[in-house]
Chain A
Amino acid sequence: MAIYHLQLPLSEEDVKKLQIGDNIYVTGKIVTARDDAHKHALDLHAKGETLPVNFGELGIFHCGPIMQKDETGKWNMVAGGPTTSNRMEIFQDIFIETFGSRLIIGKGGMGPRTTVACEKFGAVYGMFTGGAALLAAKGVKEVLEVHWYDLLGMPECLWVLQVEEFGPLMIGIDAHGNNFFEENRKKTMESKKDAYAIIDKTLEAMH
């Protein structure tokens, strides 16, 4: 396992050197986007409309934060850990292909469609510790922009964030077709029989 400190946006070279199990800390700009934001962005793009941000230049963070305005009217992140990424599996590949994003941040892993897109278009998936919302907020230095707030609400809208040493993000999908979580899922399924055996033994002893 290697640890890297990288600037955003990631270069193709950055992406290529990363392997599953590595941990990275990133500095630069990211944007929060979950189910509705992905859907809305792709819908607008299909209609040929201009989008408020360039998703290709930003790290994509699966996150629905708690934000609060201070006295001056400026937004601050109170808490902002990752949300479950697998919900975005249904359109993440098209998203990567359409916008050229190189870094997807979330938790829980993603599936085969995203894995193929990461390999084909040179992107990686990094996992931030689920639930560690205050650690995430600590890495956010400034809330730069907010879009679609009225349309999608606080958790679902786009928050553009300036982050510093944001991480660790464990590489769950690399740009070489490897998926840590899929591999581990197979191991998990195979070990079910050993778990069953423990139950069988207990039930037998109870009879």
Chain B
Amino acid sequence: MFFRSQKEDTQKVDDTSGIKTTIKETAIALLRLSATSLPHDVQQSMQEIKQEVLNHEGALLQISNILDDVELARETSAPMCQDTGIVSFILSVGDQFPLKSELKEILREATGEATKLVPLRPNTVDFFEGNPGNNIDPRGHIPYFYLDLVSGDKLKITAMTKGGGSSNIAKLGMLKPGLGLKGAMQFVIDALAEAGPAGCPPYRIGVGIGGGEDICMNLAKKALLRPLGERHADERVANLENSLMEACNVLPIGPMGVGAGQTVMDVNINLASRHPASLPVGVVFSCWALRHASAIISPDSSVEFVDY
């Protein structure tokens, strides 16, 4: 019995080393996909925006450059934008998936390797340690992990390479609850007007309302990952999304701020309950290069890439 049990242990070690390699290689592949291949729904949206500005030379130049750049990136498998962001991973970990806490270290390693292989721009700057050149925070916070525990035996990984320019224009509002939904919606419009073209429009805007100061920002960021054009399951929230989208596009910003053409490709809202004394509103922007890629890994090391 003892011997058999030992043998099983050895077998188990080999099993995890196989899946560890799969996870690492998949994560590297996802970082490459994210940085070099714009999701098709976003590209399609840029095409539609282009059709509307055929008569405006300035806007047409900008949107054509964007589309040419996207094509070049896909053809050459090179990053479409030099700013490949602060790397983050959104993980849905199944109850029966064989690895849990070790995932973080594997994904850190993948980030370091992808930085050389893709390549990604080394973006982690520490005030005291400088830039280590590998996109890994020496203090352990980056790559950043958003974790969710789910049923089943699979692991879903989404890699996000979101640029810093559009992160700089994010806004958090801790509004007075008396301002209501109207105040929350106006806060989004104000944030966009304030941002102008600084974060590379056409933007996608994620809005988180409720929860708390960090929760609303988190909800806002995750709203960026919904399929483009998808509306909230609650019809009332969906209504607000449509209205906000229409309102945002009244502002004459346009692609790269040329003053004509569509400014916002989509607006998505995530709503949570709030504290009676608080009305937190988070507004997160993505530049036109809305970059993310996902895959689902099974315990037998099979990998299914999600097509966007």
Report A-chain residues with C-beta under 8 Å of the C-beta of B246.
198
**Residue from the list A21, A83, A168, A200 in contact with B83, Cβ < 8 A:** A83
**Residues of A close to B247: CB separation below 8 A:** 195-196, 198-199
A109 touches B196 (CB 8 A): yes
Contact in complex: B69, A129 (CB < 8 Å): yes
CB of A191 within 8 A of CB of B69, answer: no
**Which chain B residue has the least Cβ–Cβ distance from A128?**
B65
Identify the closest chain A residue to B71 (Cβ): A134
User: Would you give the 0/1 interface string for A118-138, flagging 1 where the beta carbon is closer than 8 Å to chain B?
Assistant: 000000000101111111011
Q: How far is the CA of A187 from the CA of B69 in the complex (A)?
A: 30
B189 / chain A contacts, CB cutoff of 8 Å: 192, 195-196, 199
Total CB contacts across the A-B interface at under 8 A: 179
Task: Give chain A interface residues in 160-207, CB to chain B under 8 Å.
Answer: 168, 170, 180-181, 184-185, 187-189, 191-192, 194-196, 198-203, 206
- The answer, yes or no, to whether A15 is at the interface (CB within 8 Å) is no
Contact partner, A138, options B72, B165, B182, B250, Cβ 8 Å = B72
Q: How many residues of A contact B (CB 8 A)?
A: 52
A108 interface neighbour in B76, B239, B257, Cβ under 8 Å: B257
A51 within 8 A of partner (CB): no
Q: CB-nearest residue of chain B relative to A85?
A: B198
CB contact between B82 and one of A1, A23, A79 (< 8 Å): that residue: A79
A134 touches B76 (CB 8 A): yes
Q: Produce 1/0 per residue, B152-170, CB < 8 A to A.
A: 0000000000010100100
Complex partner residue of B253 from A21, A64, A129, A188, CB under 8 angstroms: A188
Chain A 152-163: CB-based contact to B (< 8 A → 1; otherwise 0): 011100000000
Are B253 and A130 within 8 A (Cβ)?
A: no
A59 interface residue per 8 A CB criterion:
no
Task: Say if the beta carbon of A68 comes within 8 Å of chain B.
Answer: yes
Q: How far is the CA of A192 from the CA of B183 in the complex (A)?
A: 13
CA distance A196 to B31 in the complex (A): 39
Closest chain A residue to B65, Cβ basis: A129
Instruction: Find out whether the CB atom of A79 lies under 8 angstroms from the CB atom of B182.
Output: no
Closest 9 CB pairs of A and B: A202-B243, A130-B200, A129-B65, A195-B247, A79-B82, A132-B69, A153-B131, A198-B247, A131-B81
Which B residues are within 8 Å of any A CB, using their own CB? 57-58, 61-62, 65-66, 68-69, 72-73, 76, 78-84, 119-123, 125, 130-131, 133, 163, 165, 168, 181-182, 185-186, 189-190, 193, 196-200, 236, 239-240, 242-244, 246-248, 250-253, 256-259, 287-289
28 A-B pairs with CB atoms under 8 Å apart are: A1-B58, A64-B83, A66-B119, A66-B120, A79-B81, A83-B83, A108-B197, A108-B199, A109-B196, A127-B257, A130-B165, A131-B66, A131-B69, A138-B72, A153-B131, A153-B133, A154-B121, A154-B133, A180-B259, A181-B257, A184-B257, A185-B196, A187-B259, A198-B243, A199-B244, A200-B182, A203-B181, A206-B236
Sample of 4 further A-B pairs with CB below 8 A, known A64-B121, A66-B119: A21-B58, A108-B257, A155-B121, A187-B259
Task: Give chain A's interface residues, CB within 8 Å of chain B.
Answer: 1, 21, 23, 63-66, 68, 78-81, 83-84, 86, 107-109, 127, 129-135, 137-138, 153-155, 168, 170, 180-181, 184-185, 187-189, 191-192, 194-196, 198-203, 206
